[in-house]
Structures are given as structure tokens and as C-alpha cells.
Structure 1
């Protein structure tokens, strides 16, 4: 029974560490726990309907939930490791009766105190390998804290870049640039800048997949609302006489296709054309593309 509890605890801790690794430092489809929580909250908010949907909260609440699950799972896992060895291999303060503080709740308490690096000391391991294991848990707690900060510092700049791209596309749309204005060196430079921003956004969706589950409520900063105009702009510029403009339009179309491929492979799974993917992207974010 003791080995079963310890094995289960070790598996839980390793599972969370693996998920943290794949979420932050090696983003792949294998980081399933964080993606599952974010996606579940996103779909739940979508089912509430447009009026009851907590706009803008699904992403932040999802991140809070992921961090809470990470920390909670690690705490329970380490508690399962400690529990079989209580009270024999732990020392207790004078006001505590060891036999009365050797249950699963007490093991979880020791784990939480160690994970949070509080070091209260009223219950502490005395066995050699447990005394080594406790500081390791404290290091894991520090890793989780650092991971949370790194996640926030990565996701929110990615959101800012995405919204800046949408706002830039909105500027072009509202300026009502004519075909003659686009058919120039300035038009080629504009298309190059937009293609570059689209490429950065594509990388952001691959590196910080959780950023997809953040809702952009304002029309001018909502990328799902502006991608249709980006596609129209690339088609219009593709008919220009200026060779540099046609080249830039081709690069921009390729950037849009790459973005659609990432959105479809990781989130939407429509198997359709870029136009269909962008329409599904807009619908998933509560807007018509």
C-alpha cells in the first residue's frame, strides 16, 4: 500500500512537470492538461451565449485554473509520498500528538507548506531521504512560480502583437486605400509589413497556443474581424502593375495561408480553405469573419 501511494504521487508530480515543460518551454500538442482546461472554459463561456458570456474572462480565468491545477496536483502528489511514512519518520512540535496528525490531510498540509516554502516546522521529516525530498519539493514550487510568471510574460505580449496587427489592418480598411495608392512602392512596403506581422502572429499561436482562448471584444483590435480584409487586400494587390507590389501580395497570401494552417491544425480542424478557416475562427470568437 505504501509503495502504491508513493508511485501514484510520483506519477502525478511528473505528469504536471511534463505539462509545464510542454506548455512553456517546448510547446507541442503533448501539453494536454493546460490546453484541455483552457479549451473547456472557452467552450463553456461560448455556451452561455453572447449576452451572458463573460467577455474577456475566459482566457485569464483559464490561466488561473491551469496554475491552480498544476499546484494542487503537485501538492497532492507529494502528499501521497509523505503519507505512508507518517508519523514514524516525521518530527512534531510539542503541542501536536503524532498519532492524531498522521492522516492524508496532515500529509497534504506538509506538502503545501513545503511547496509554498513557508517552512513552518511544526511537522518536519526526520528520515534521511525524506529530508532530501522535501527541499526538492520546495524547488518544484519555485519552478511553478517561475513558470507562472514566464507564462504571463509570454502570453500577454503575444496578445498585444495580435491586437496591434488587427488594429493596423483596421487602419488600412478605414483609410479606404485605392488600388492606385497600393500600386506603388509605399503599397509594397505596407504589404511587406503586414506579412511580417502575420508571420509573427502565426509563431505566437504556435508558441503560446493558450493565447487563442483570449477574446478580443473591440472590433478594431479583433483579428477575426480583420482577417477577411487582409485576404481582400492581398487579392487586390495581386492585380497591381508594380512587380514589387505583386511580389509582396504573394508573400502576404502565403503568410495568410500559414496562419490558417496553424489555426486549423491546432484549434478549428475544419479541413477547409483559408477563407473557411478564417470564417470558423471568427465564428468561434463570437464574430462573423
Structure 2
């Protein structure tokens, strides 16, 4: 194997390794995200902030599709570069199939193997190449399964966030201007404790599925960035209550909101020394309020 063949082999192995690391950190590492996926999602997010209308709301789903496409491209090109130095002598071609040794042929073999189609008209001859081809087929099946699992895990996390936003809006409409103090203290305490648990679940979702942060809601009613400030109002009102149960529930909700603010500050770079400042930045970034505009709550 000459220098050029060694170069293609090293480059191909590097691309495959980059794909595997990115998939592992995005799908299997609980609080991480791969460098490729993170760059793509953030790129789509920054581009969507310059858009108007519904285009900004489909940026996150498109970013997820782009990440999956990038993983497939890294895998296909990486293995193609591994096969390239061994074409055509390292493979057995069926009768009538032209023997070529260019990158297009290597990419074709790689794509057929990655998709587990396996037409069989071009098969490896060397035992080591057979092992590499089999490994790629297993990886291709695993990549398909992993991406489907990723999508299936993402949307339940989004639904939990939307459900919390709807819960806060329903509470605001039902309680009226008097807020939590208009309710029976024990009943109100139970509701606030439930909200605190839901806020904690959203914090965990943002840590485990960072891409869910970049989904914008079409309707303000289902947007947590637009309603989380009201949860702070409820926590403050509850702590001013004379009821010990309601005071405890208020402290519990306040602690859960501080935890959410810490995630938004540390994971997504929202500035602010207080939770209120972080939530203001969160709302501004999701375009439910413009800078300098008063809070509608």
C-alpha cells in the first residue's frame, strides 16, 4: 500500500470514527451532543432567527433531518475511502459488471452495504475486507435504528414541554387576577407541586435531548418560553401565603424553576444573574416578545 492509499485509509477511518463519536454523544451519552450534530442544529437555529413566518418553525425538524443525513454521508464516504485502495483487485465482480477502481465505484459499494441492500454483484475477496463490509452493514442497521429511536424520543419531550405551557395557561385562566391565593391552600399546594415536577421533567429533557430546545412553537399558548414567567409569579405568591403547605409548594416550584434557569444558562448560554433574567432571554430568543417590549403577563 503506497502513501496515497494509506492517506485514503486514514481519512476514511477518521470519518467513520467521527460519525460513531457523534452518534454516541448525541444518542447514548445522557447529557451530551456530538460536534457535528451540535454545529448543524445551531447553524439552522441561527439561520431561523433571521426568518419570518412559518419558515422559522420548521428549522429544528429540518436540522434533525440534516444531522441524520450528515451521519449517513460520513459513514458512506468514510467506508468508500476505506474500499478505494482495494479496487478493483480486492473485490470479485459478477459476470457483465465492469471493473472500475474510482471513487464512484467505492461509494456505490459503500452505499449498498450501508443500506444493507447487498445486491451481491460486487463482493470482497480478501478476508479482512469481508469483515469490514460486514461491520459496515451492522453499523448501517444500527444507525437506522438509532435515528428512528432519536426521533421517537424527541417528540415526547416536546409534548411534555407543551403540556406544561398549557397547564400554566389553564391555571391563569381559571384562577384569574387573584392567582393562587384565590384557591383552597391545600388544593393550590397540590397543583403547584405537580407543576414543580413538570418543570423538573422539562429540565431533564433539555439536558438529555438538547435539540428540543431549538423547536419553536407556532402558538404562543403552547410555548413554555412565553409562559414560564407566570410560573415564577405563582411561586412568589405561594411563598407570601399564610398557609405552610402553600409556602412549601411555592418554595418547591421556585427551586424547580431555578434548576430550569441553570440549565438554560449553562447549556444554552442565556445570560442573567437571576432566573427572571434568564427566562426573559429565553422568551426573546424564541420570539414571543421583542427586546424592549413589556411582558404581556
**What are the equivalent positions in structure 2 for 1:1-289 lying under 5 Å apart?**
1-29=4-32, 31-48=34-51, 50-51=52-53, 53-98=54-99, 101-177=100-176, 178=178, 179-182=180-183, 184-288=185-289
Paired residues of 2:181 and 2:238 also in contact (CA < 8 A): no
Q: Could you tell me whether the CA contact under 8 Å between 2:161 and 2:224 is conserved in 1?
A: yes
Is the contact between residue 55 and residue 217 of structure 1 (CA under 8 Å) also seen in structure 2?
Answer: no
Query: Does the 8 Å CA contact 2:33/2:210 hold for their aligned counterparts?
Result: no
| Structure 2: distance between partners of 1:89 and 1:149 | 34
Distance 1:258 1:187 in 2: 22
Give the superposition deviation at 1:219. Answer: 1.5
The 8 Å contact of residues 169 and 227 in structure 2, kept in 1 or not, is answered as yes
Structure 2 counterpart SS, 1:176: helix
Distance across 1 between alignment mates of 2:95 and 2:32: 50
How far did residue 14 of structure 1 move? 1.1
SS of the residue 1:91 aligns to? strand
TM-score, scaled to structure 1: 0.95
Q: Is the 8 A contact 1:113 1:120 kept in 2?
A: yes
Deviation at 1:183, TM superposition (A): 5.5
Q: Shift in Å at residue 247 of structure 1? A: 0.6
TM superposition shift of 1:122: 1.9
For structure 1, which segment, 183-192 or 193-202, has the greater mean C-alpha deviation from structure 2 after superposition? 183-192
> What's the CA shift for 1:11?
1.1
- Answer whether contact 1:183 1:240 (CA < 8 A) is retained: no
CA distance in structure 2 between the partners assigned to 1:281 and 1:35 by the alignment: 19
Secondary structure of the residue aligned to 2:45 is: helix
- Aligned-pair distance for 1:72? 0.5
**Which structure carries more relative contact order (alpha carbon 8 Å, separation 6+)?**
1
SS of aligned partner of 1:24: helix
Find the aligned partners of 2:238 and 2:42 in 1 and give their Cα distance: 37
Q: C-alpha deviations, 1:64-86, integer Å up to 9, x for none?
A: 00000000101000000000000
Native 8 Å contact 1:182 1:237 kept in 2: no
Cα contact 1:183–1:245 (8 A) shared by 2? no
Q: CA deviation at 1:120?
A: 1.0
**Are the equivalent residues in 2 in contact too, given 1:205–1:212 (CA < 8 A)?**
yes
Contact 1:79 1:111 in 2 (8 A): yes
RMSD over equivalenced CA pairs, Å: 1.4
- Deviation of the 1:18 alpha carbon: 0.9
Tell me whether 112-121 or 178-187 shows the greater mean CA deviation. 178-187
Judge conservation of contact 1:182–1:188 (CA < 8 Å) in 2: no
Structure 2 spans left out of the alignment, 5+ residues: 290-294
SS at match of 1:143: helix
Distance in 2 (CA, whole Å) between partners of 1:33 and 1:194 is 35
Shift of 1:175: 1.4
Give CA deviations for 1:207-253 in whole Å, capped at 9, x if unaligned: 10000111111111100111011111111111001001001100100
Q: Distance in 2 between matches of 1:273 and 1:32?
A: 30
Unaligned ranges ≥5, structure 1: none
Shift of 1:55: 3.9
